[in-house]
Every structure is written in structure tokens, then in C-alpha cells.
Amino acid sequence: SQQGEEDPQALSIQEGENATMNCSYKTSINNLQWYRQNSGRGLVHLILIRSNEREKHSGRLRVTLDTSKKSSSLLITASRAADTASYFCATGRAGGTSYGKLTFGQGTILTVHP
Amino acid sequence: EAGVAQSPRYKIIEKRQSVAFWCNPISGHATLYWYQQILGQGPKLLIQFQNNGVVDDSQLPKDRFSAERLKGVDSTLKIQPAKLEDSAVYLCASSTFLVNQETQYFGPGTRLLVL
């Protein structure tokens, strides 16, 4: 079953604009991760935020986490055509046999027009 | 370091045939995952290995799917017999399973088409 739901399903912007994608989940988590997938390729890890963190930055990426609302957002600033890809949030639970296991959302398809 | 390797990259078979996929994880990674990604959806975990033991196979359709990780390194995923709904990309991922090292590293995937 899919843990996360992402919004929007598709996003189309111009180069230089910011892109914001949202992820909601249902159960308590240990961490939330964002991955990127270019067409026909494997997934690439972008950023991880832990349940006790509220915001994290990595280059042009900014991730926020609100555990009270069970939601996260990924902001890509000053987007480039090369950012065109599908973006997935994935939630990781704590403890026991759940450690390391990720549950992925449906993804947001981002298209950045030059 | 070398990434996760998968083969073949593409496979076309007819329904009721069998197929096998191979994965070689990043050297030293104790945990290996197989995911199924149907077009337009996120990856769904099929099975998780810790070394050569199965940690979670709750979503593996065991009547037709099987997986093994002999010697705790390479892994194979088999489908026998295949159904039309098995058409998907099969992704292999690995991780270190150390504390606070939850990042998974994915291979390029095997795209399976069942006709």
C-alpha cells in the first residue's frame, strides 16, 4: 500500500521559477526522504529529514516536515531544465523489522521548460 | 564506488513464461531490496534481505514470485509463471543498514513487458 500521497501529480514551470511539491502520509515515521527519478532510470536520493527536524536544506533544495499534520514539502529554487523528472517522497518507520523499510508515494512529475 | 548493478535492462516475454532478474548491490551493503514500479506509480517493496536472510516479504506474491540472496551478496528475483499485470520496472536497491544510514541506493531497473 502507498503511504504517501503527493500533490500535485504534475507540475509544469519555466526555468528559473521555484517548484513546490507536497507529500502527506498516514502513520508515524522515523524519517522522510525525497528521491528523484529521471525517465527510464533508477531513483536518486535527494535529501532525508528526521522526525525531530522541521527544515533541512541541500543546495537548491529545501524540505520541511510537519509531523502534527503528517506532511512534508520539497522546494526546488531557481529550477533548471535538468530538474525535469519525477519526484517521490518515501517514509521510513522506526524499529524492529521496519528499520530501513521505505514506503513511497505516487510521485510528482515536474517539467521545467527552458 | 560502483553503484547497484542490474541485468537485464529490458525483457519481453509472453504470459505464463518465466523470467529472472539479477542484482549486484554496492559492496559492503548488508541490506538489499526489490521493488516493483508499475507505470505511473511509486515503487512498491516486494522483499527486503538483511545479509542472506529475509526481513520482509509480506508484499511478495509468493505463488509466482521468488527471490534469493545466496552468500549475502548478489540476488535474483524470479517470476514463474508471468502474468500481464507483472509488466513493470523491477528496481533493486541496497543500503548499509547502519544506524542513521537509511538512504537507499537504486540500480537502473529492469523493464519487463509481459505480452
Residue of A35, A42, A100 with shortest CB distance to B102: A100
Query: Measured between alpha carbons, how far is A11 from A84 in angstroms, rounded to an integer?
Result: 10
Q: What is the pLDDT of residues B85-109, one digit of tens each?
A: 999 999 999 998 776 678 999 999 9
Contacts 24+ apart (CB under 8 A), B6-12: B6/B90, B6/B91, B6/B92, B6/B107, B6/B108, B6/B109, B6/B110, B7/B110, B8/B110, B9/B108, B9/B109, B9/B110, B9/B111, B10/B110, B10/B111, B10/B113, B11/B110, B11/B111, B11/B112, B11/B113, B12/B112, B12/B113, B12/B115
Tell me the per-residue pLDDT of B53-75, one tens digit each, with 9 for 90 and over. Answer: 998 999 999 999 999 998 889 99
pLDDT at A1: 46
Task: Report d(CA B74, CA B101) in Å as an integer.
Answer: 21
Q: What is the pLDDT of residues A64-112, one digit of tens each?
A: 999 999 999 999 999 999 999 999 999 988 666 566 789 999 999 999 9
**Closest alpha carbon within chain A to B94:** A100
CB contact under 8 A, A48 and B102: yes
Please name the residue of chain B whose CA is at the shortest distance from the CA of residue A9. Answer: B40
Residue B44's pLDDT band, with cuts at 50, 70 and 90, is very high
B39 CA to chain A: closest CA distance, Å?
Answer: 10
pLDDT in tens, A8-53: 999 999 999 999 999 999 988 889 999 999 987 889 999 999 999 9
Q: Is the pLDDT of residue B2 over 60?
A: yes
Q: Across chain A, what does the average pLDDT equal?
A: 91
How many Cβ pairs closer than 8 A exist between chain A and B? 61
